[in-house]
Amino acid sequence: MSQLRSHRSKVRIGNWLEDQQLEEDAVKEYLEKKEKGELASQKVDFLTENILRPVNLSVSNDGLLHFGDVVMLVNMGGENRECSAVGINADINSVTKTPSPGIRVPCGVSAGRGIQACTRTAFIITSVDGSPEGATLLYEQSFALKTTSGFARGLYLTSDIKSFQKCAKKSRLQEVNLDDSCSFLSWWRTVHFDPQERLEHEGQPVHANKKVLITHCKTNQALAVLGDQVIWSMYGKEYEVTAHTFLDSHKAEQENNHWVLCTSDPAGDGLVLFNRPL
């Protein structure tokens, strides 16, 4: 015998009042977050809109690098990695809106395959020894690499001696990140990539869009990209960036340590790097 219903279909049973209140609270919370721009989708849109905003790189009319130039740090790739550029590795938790919208510090960096000049990938060659803006950068001369102002907050590419608690997350090598203080930890210098020509180039002007080593002044470790250490982020597949000198059997630095400080083509047609191959 079928069970008879003892109440009408419109009768509410169980904890219906609590369930209704929870639903109303959830809708109210959603609308409040939406109004404040705190929904996850809104945070992602806000971050990508600001961090991927195009930036005009400097144009080098004399083919040299100068203090104040806005450049990209590009590694041309190797056996197990593609061409990539150093960029701010920020997610929605790395963004703050007070006192103004920007990146929280410290913030990580990674090497992405998107070779586009934007807030994320643009760095300013900054003097640390009193050299005036516009002066030519020389081999072995100390300098800092700073992100653009505004959303990127003018943060400095920084590194320090690795320790058990402070090291790169995947490789456990010397960590590289962005900080807001310009100290000795944020000092770098360019070195000629060919050891046999290094001595004769010391003190000479550094050419833009040519391979160089970028060495950390305090630890003497070279900036490197690791093709075997993949980072999956909101920007896609990227590589870990660290400070570590990789040497081959001839005691020469490997391609992991070779960087090109890219500028814009004077003709206004993209990057010199791709219009005039190395």
Task: Return the closest-CA partner of residue 122 out of 86, 160, 169.
Answer: 86
Higher pLDDT pick, 275 / 178: 178
230-262 pLDDT tens trace: 999 888 999 999 999 999 999 999 999 999 999
pLDDT value of residue 1 = 47
Question: In degrees rounded to 5, what are phi and psi of residue 194?
Answer: -95, 115
* Beta pairing partners, 253: 247
**Are both 28 and 158 inside the same structural domain?**
no
Average pLDDT over residues 45-69: 93
Matching residue, tokens 């219009």: 275
189-224 pLDDT tens trace: 999 999 999 999 999 999 999 999 999 999 999 999
pTM over 0.75: yes
Which ranges constitute the DSSP H helices of the chain?
16-36, 40-51, 198-201, 272-275
**Are both 162 and 220 inside the same structural domain?**
yes
- What is the chain's mean pLDDT, rounded? 89
Contact 51, 90 (CB under 8 A): yes
**Are both 131 and 237 inside the same structural domain?**
yes
97-112 pLDDT tens trace: 777 889 999 999 999 9
**Are both 42 and 131 inside the same structural domain?**
no
Omega of the bond prior to 277 within 30 degrees of 0, cis?
Answer: no
3 within a domain of the structure (yes/no): no
4 within a domain of the structure (yes/no): no
**Are both 179 and 77 inside the same structural domain?**
yes
**Are both 226 and 210 inside the same structural domain?**
yes
**Are both 117 and 241 inside the same structural domain?**
yes
Q: What is the DSSP string of 164-224?
A: SSSS-TTT-SEEEEEES--SGGG-EEEEES-GGGHHHHTTSBPBTTSEEEEEETTT-PBEE
Three-state SS at 247 = strand
**Are both 29 and 125 inside the same structural domain?**
no
Residue 225, token pair as written in the block: 């990209």
pLDDT value of residue 42 = 82
Contact 259, 73 (CB under 8 A): yes
Residues 6 or more apart in contact with residue 11 via CB below 8 angstroms: none
Q: What is the CATH number of the domain that holds 150?
A: 2.80.10.50
Residue-number span of the structural domain to which 44 is assigned: 11-52
**Are both 82 and 45 inside the same structural domain?**
no
Q: How many domains does the chain have?
A: 2
